[in-house]
Chain A
């Protein structure tokens, strides 16, 4: 028997398959323009990757912003609880989670049992999201998203990008480029701008170590470094796991628990 957690985000759909001995298989695909079909697709893909069959799936939990449309799920759970569960599983010392996805950012506070005790979600402002990094990299700086981390490590200076609005921030970057500021410095500035914006939210729920970063943007080592500076505290990423999968992992862990308790959810 296997259980599956499916995290249908604004940018990517992720699925994690768990068997009884806690072996993990996964899949990530773009959400595209149809979150419902992306969810179904990534679910099937992850099960295929696990070499199991659909008939062996005993429980599915859907999370993420597209969770409501996941008809294949037994139950839906919010991203907040799933990231909490996933982060707690990967590192039980985690007390604060910073999750930055494609279109929002979240700060979650956990107690010593891994229980969520407070959280904040920001989706009002794009400047603290993965999308902002994507468009800045592709449209303004003309570099690959995956290279942002290594580029910013080479920066000799971190220019200030002061605009809180992403559109103006991009204009600002264009004019900085025009004055001859090297791309890697600008990338560092960009990372600092994102970290600063999200940090003010994290500070409101209170920062307790260990701080873990999850979500797709946690793959960008430059953002992690910027957070360390901004919060003046160590920020870790999961070691044996793609941080982008933490939400789906949490969903799978909750699914496992529900399956054990004979949980009957919404089918």
Chain B
């Protein structure tokens, strides 16, 4: 990549993700190879889990945030109730169908105790499919100054026992030095992601959200060191490129709500097709996970405390009692990205998000004068027509006809 590159100004991101795509296509084979050499693969679900601990133990973390597949979500009904959320049904469903190659490579699962649904997933993985499962307890109250020290203390304890279990599983105790190295690697990844995601600024990003999201999610699967290299490559090649002039007249939307897994395109695609444009998201699978670094204070700083501090406070999940924080965060995102409309994605039976919707709606409509649209859906294609009408009507409402 020498000299000032000439870019196709009409399509400034052409070819940008090719290398990443190619690399990602090889991932399964590479993981299998690493397994052959004795490396363990640890699958986990929620971003409350510090993957630094897995990396420090010399193992491969894979975040199993898959979605959008009807077959596995139906297969999961054999064990979970039909009115469990499709994410949880798929987590179990992939064990039934055996169709997800990443799941098939997992040696052990780490499961954070977030919501009711995931609690049941964890039980079935262990009892029914006899997989090793390491649990990570999660405090619910982390918002008030009163509960904060207690919550951190508890979470730190949980992280310590996870560290011990992972060490045992990986065949060597996890050293502080290794955790520090892993933290540096993950912080570097976060910084690159923020740079790429928000280049050159939050309102006129070079990459559209769909590409940014793809880049973010590649990092759930890919060997993290290689992933960092891929990010560096992308970073280097976007510098100097200019985003397309914003005259597309599309409604700028924030997509927030339930987990938007790898493969769950239905809503993003419909937004695109109907003339909307997602400018950013506030879900547990997006950029929110990379907003903050883990900060260890100097040589004597407590790594476990640093991890507890960072991981307890950085996920937009309604299983927590920090509703006020999440409302404020949403309002900041709306300002930063000049959002014109909010799509609130609720996976059916994701009760926490659904129950909070009226509160979000009230807050957005009354305090921020921001239009908000609730979309309740699952992985079946049957509701595409109505959702299209809803989003189209929402766009007409914001733009006028």
Q: Do A and B come from one complex?
A: yes
Binding site for B on A (CB under 8 A): 65, 77-81, 104, 115-119, 121, 123, 204, 254
Nearest-Cβ distance from residue B273 to partner chain A, whole angstroms? 11
Would B397 and A121 count as touching, CB distance under 8 A?
no
**How far apart are the CA atoms of A65 and B393 in the complex, in Å?**
12
**How far apart are the CA atoms of A235 and B243 in the complex, in Å?**
51
Nearest-Cβ distance from residue B346 to partner chain A, whole angstroms? 13
Q: Across the A-B interface, how many residue pairs have beta carbons closer than 8 Å? A: 38
Residue in B385, B392, B393 whose Cβ sees the most chain A Cβ within 10 Å: B393
Nearest-Cβ distance from residue A47 to partner chain B, whole angstroms? 23
Would B401 and A254 count as touching, CB distance under 8 A?
yes
B269 near A: Cβ within 8 Å? Answer: no
B36 near A: Cβ within 8 Å? Answer: no
* Residue in B358, B383, B389, B390 whose beta carbon sits within 8 Å of that of A65 in the complex: B389
Would B385 and A81 count as touching, CB distance under 8 A?
no
Q: Which residues of B are found within 8 Å of A121, using beta-carbon distances?
A: 386, 389-390, 393
Q: Which residues of B are found within 8 Å of A104, using beta-carbon distances?
A: 386
**How far apart are the CA atoms of A115 and B392 in the complex, in Å?**
15
Q: Which residues of B are found within 8 Å of A79, using beta-carbon distances?
A: 389, 393
Q: Which residues of A are found within 8 Å of B386, using beta-carbon distances?
A: 104, 121, 123
* Residue in A80, A204, A254 whose beta carbon sits within 8 Å of that of B397 in the complex: A80
Q: Which residues of A are found within 8 Å of B385, using beta-carbon distances?
A: 65
9 contacts between A and B (CB under 8 A): A77-B401, A80-B389, A118-B397, A119-B397, A121-B389, A121-B390, A123-B386, A204-B358, A254-B401
Q: Which residues of B are found within 8 Å of A65, using beta-carbon distances?
A: 385, 389
> B residues 323-374 with Cβ under 8 Å of A?
358, 365, 371
Residue in B365, B371, B386 whose Cβ sees the most chain A Cβ within 10 Å: B386
**How far apart are the CA atoms of A80 and B395 in the complex, in Å?**
11
**How far apart are the CA atoms of A112 and B389 in the complex, in Å?**
24
Mostly, the A contact residues are mixed
Would A119 and B393 count as touching, CB distance under 8 A?
yes
Would A77 and B397 count as touching, CB distance under 8 A?
no
**How far apart are the CA atoms of A119 and B371 in the complex, in Å?**
11
The 9 closest A-B pairs by CB, nearest first: A80-B393, A78-B393, A81-B396, A116-B397, A78-B392, A123-B386, A78-B389, A81-B401, A77-B401
Would A116 and B389 count as touching, CB distance under 8 A?
no
Would B397 and A117 count as touching, CB distance under 8 A?
yes
Nearest-Cβ distance from residue B357 to partner chain A, whole angstroms? 10
* Residue in A116, A118, A204 whose beta carbon sits within 8 Å of that of B396 in the complex: A116
Q: Which residues of A are found within 8 Å of B397, using beta-carbon distances?
A: 80-81, 115-119
Given contact pairs A78-B392, A80-B393, A81-B396, enumerate 10 new A-B contacts (beta carbons under 8 Å): A77-B401, A78-B393, A79-B393, A80-B389, A115-B397, A116-B396, A118-B365, A118-B397, A123-B386, A254-B401
- Nearest B residue to A80 via CB reads B393
**How far apart are the CA atoms of A113 and B386 in the complex, in Å?**
27
Q: Which residues of A are found within 8 Å of B358, using beta-carbon distances?
A: 204
**How far apart are the CA atoms of A48 and B212 in the complex, in Å?**
53
- Nearest A residue to B365 via CB reads A118
Q: Which residues of A are found within 8 Å of B393, using beta-carbon distances?
A: 78-81, 116, 119, 121
Q: Which residues of B are found within 8 Å of A115, using beta-carbon distances?
A: 397, 400
**How far apart are the CA atoms of A77 and B393 in the complex, in Å?**
8
**How far apart are the CA atoms of A183 and B25 in the complex, in Å?**
66
Q: Which residues of A are found within 8 Å of B401, using beta-carbon distances?
A: 77, 81, 254
**How far apart are the CA atoms of A69 and B117 in the complex, in Å?**
40
Q: Which residues of A are found within 8 Å of B365, using beta-carbon distances?
A: 118
**How far apart are the CA atoms of A238 and B107 in the complex, in Å?**
66
Nearest-Cβ distance from residue B170 to partner chain A, whole angstroms? 47
Chain B 373-401 interface mask (CB, 8 Å, partner A; 1/0): 00000000001011001101100110011
**How far apart are the CA atoms of A118 and B396 in the complex, in Å?**
11
- Nearest A residue to B392 via CB reads A78
- Nearest A residue to B386 via CB reads A123
- Nearest B residue to A116 via CB reads B397
Q: Which residues of A are found within 8 Å of B389, using beta-carbon distances?
A: 65, 78-80, 121
